[in-house]
Amino acid sequence: MNYSELVRAVQEGDDRTASKLCAEALIILKRYLIANYNASPEDAEDAVQKMFEYVIPKIRNDEITNPSGLLSYMLSGVKHAYFKNLRKYENDEVDSLDEEPESEGLQLWRLISDERKRILEECITYLKLHYRSLAEFIFDHPEADSYDIAEQFEISVNNAWIRKHRVIKQLSECAQKKS
């Protein structure tokens, strides 16, 4: 697919062409999440929708300067949206579990969560010092976005976003090896 055509259609207000090209991209991006992150089709579609809600205004405001790099940008955006949705769902689920009496099923889930936490803590120790402090900040402040991270570590917002995703990737790879 030629993503420069999508940029042109959005910038020129050609909604029909933009919708057609977004529908084609939706299929590719959904498959990417399903194949690489084991996302359900529904979760993948939600993540793609959220990514488009972010990317389309950026295209309209001429903030996308490299149409040939749009696919890479969308892949990163859809992955970020998917993981953000997962974190939100897990946090909502944990909040509701705290209000219910403990059952055998919930006890097992708590053991699994404790094991995942232990693995993550171990993986954090393998990170370089500056990544380790960033990971600890992210876990202590899960609502922090790139702007908060940039302010905390006195780096640019772009650098904060890149570092955050590098840390998440390294932790994910380590956790998969340990599981």
Express each pLDDT in 12-68 by its tens digit.
Answer: 988 888 889 888 988 999 998 988 888 888 888 899 999 988 888 888 888 887 777
Q: Which domain holds residue 43?
A: 1-100
Assign residue 146 the CATH number of its domain: 1.10.10.10
**96 plus 109 within the same structural domain:** no
Distance CA 112, CA 174 (A): 17
Q: What percent of the chain has pLDDT over 70?
A: 84
- Among the residue ranges 35-44, 81-90, 131-140, the one predicted with the least confidence is 81-90
Q: Can you give the pTM of this predicted structure?
A: 0.50
Q: Please check whether residue 11 is in contact with residue 3, taking contact to mean a CB–CB distance below 8 angstroms.
A: no
For the chain, the domain total comes to 2
Residues 78 and 110 in one domain: no
- Given 100, 127, 147, the domain boundary residue is 100
Structure tokens given for 162? 């890149």
**Are 6 and 63 part of one and the same domain?**
yes
Same domain, residue pair 120 and 96: no
